[in-house]
Amino acid sequence: METLLSTYPPGAWAALLATGVLIGLLAGLLGVGSGIVAVPVLLEIFEFIGIGEPLGVPLAVGTAQASILIASVTAAGVHWRAGTIDSDLVQSWLPALMVGAVIGLTLGPLAPTWVLTTLFAVVAAGLALKMMAGDRLIIVQSQPERPFSDISPAIVGGLAAAVGVGGGTLSTPPP
């Protein structure tokens, strides 16, 4: 335990704890995933402790992805028990979502840092615009027919995996 605690200075631990609380509040109130908050905070903390940009971005994205995995499994279980999962939609999206995620996980670490940070900023700005517009901004009314129906989940999976945000942040932004 002492080794773990000595990994980061006390200020970094305080920032991580505060970020965890903020992530929990935002997830509970707005349904926003942890990656949208965790990645920028982790980048700052890594910079503070001397982990530079080339390694800091993939480390922040990977750390956010690990926390998203834990939160997603927990949330999926709760939603499954509550009966609030559209099984047909999950079955139709899952194959393309997984292909997109594999592509994002493969290409993300190879991408230059500026590409990943730009993608992250675009995702965050898009989410902010959707939240401000609410129901006034509806991209599509219904899912397109195959093969076009695989485009959206593949993009969601690829972007989410590459920049470290949850797929729900991209596919179901709050109104």
Whether pLDDT at 80 is above 80: yes
Query: What confidence tens digit (pLDDT) does each residue in 42-51 have?
Result: 888 888 888 8
What pLDDT score was predicted for residue 94? 92
Across residues 150-164, what is the average pLDDT? 88
Nearest Cα residue to 68 out of 154, 164, 175, 141:
164
Query: What confidence tens digit (pLDDT) does each residue in 108-150 have?
Result: 888 888 888 888 888 888 888 887 887 777 777 777 787 788 9
Whether pLDDT at 174 is above 70: no
Which amino acid belongs to residue 46? F
| Residue 7, burial from CB neighbour count under 10 angstroms (0-12, 13-18, 19+) | exposed
What pLDDT score was predicted for residue 173? 57
How many CA atoms within 13 Å lie on the side-chain side of 21?
5
DSSP annotation of 108 reads G
What pLDDT score was predicted for residue 33? 64
Phi then psi for residue 9, to 5 deg, are -70, 160
